[in-house]
Amino acid sequence: MKTESILKEAEAIYRRCGRTGPEELCRLNGVILLYYPMGKTEEACKGFVLRCGSKTSITINSDMSPFLQKMVLWHELGHYFLHIQTGLADGLREFSVWNVSDKMEREANLLAAELSIKDEDVTEVFSETKDFFEASGKLNVLPGFLDFKIRMMNASGAALPGVPVPAEGSFLGKQKDEDAYVQP
């Protein structure tokens, strides 16, 4: 799926639901949101989306920090809107090493970044600092999400700086709580 298609999907979501948080997006789209302890090890499942008949649920590992829970929820919503909703997959689950195609992970991350970070916030932060990791902290997002957001904005004509280490499609699966960079 091309960047332009992901941007169009984000715009359609904004029209239907407005700019809102991930929990509200679940509620507005009839997605059942569950939190369940799935372990703290690197191999532990971080979250998954599952469709059974007409019902869809997203389950998030409650053993993670609230910050990572929110990042994983945005990612799972990316899968919901792009893959589950369109029938491309019946169930997707996130482990530290993902078995799902990199293309689907990349698409989910691009949409998650687009939905979770406003363009104007990125522009404002980069007017204050040119340091990518500082910007990530000020925006209160994982560096990988900021990387994907910058890709989306640059595809739309922005001229934002590149990133020190570009994120892979599976960056979130390798994320550990102690590695999360969050503004204090």
pLDDT, tens digit (0-9, with 9 covering 90-100), for 169-178 = 565 665 555 5
pLDDT value, residue 145: 87
pLDDT value, residue 88: 60
The answer to whether 82 and 111 are in contact (CB under 8 A) is yes
The secondary structure of residue 167, as a DSSP letter, is P
pTM of the model: 0.84
The answer to whether 112 and 74 are in contact (CB under 8 A) is yes
Q: Name the pLDDT band for 52 (thresholds 50, 70, 90).
A: confident
Radius of gyration (C-alpha) of the chain in whole angstroms: 15
Q: Quick check: 95 pLDDT over 80?
A: no
Q: Name the pLDDT band for 98 (thresholds 50, 70, 90).
A: very low
φ, ψ at 43 (rounded to 5°): -85, -5
Q: Quick check: 75 pLDDT over 60?
A: yes
Instruction: Take residue 90 and report the two structure tokens written for it.
Output: 């019946």
19-41 average pLDDT score: 95
Task: Please spell the DSSP secondary structure of 124-160, one letter per residue.
Answer: HHHHH---HHHHHHHHTS-HHHHHHHHHHHHHTT---
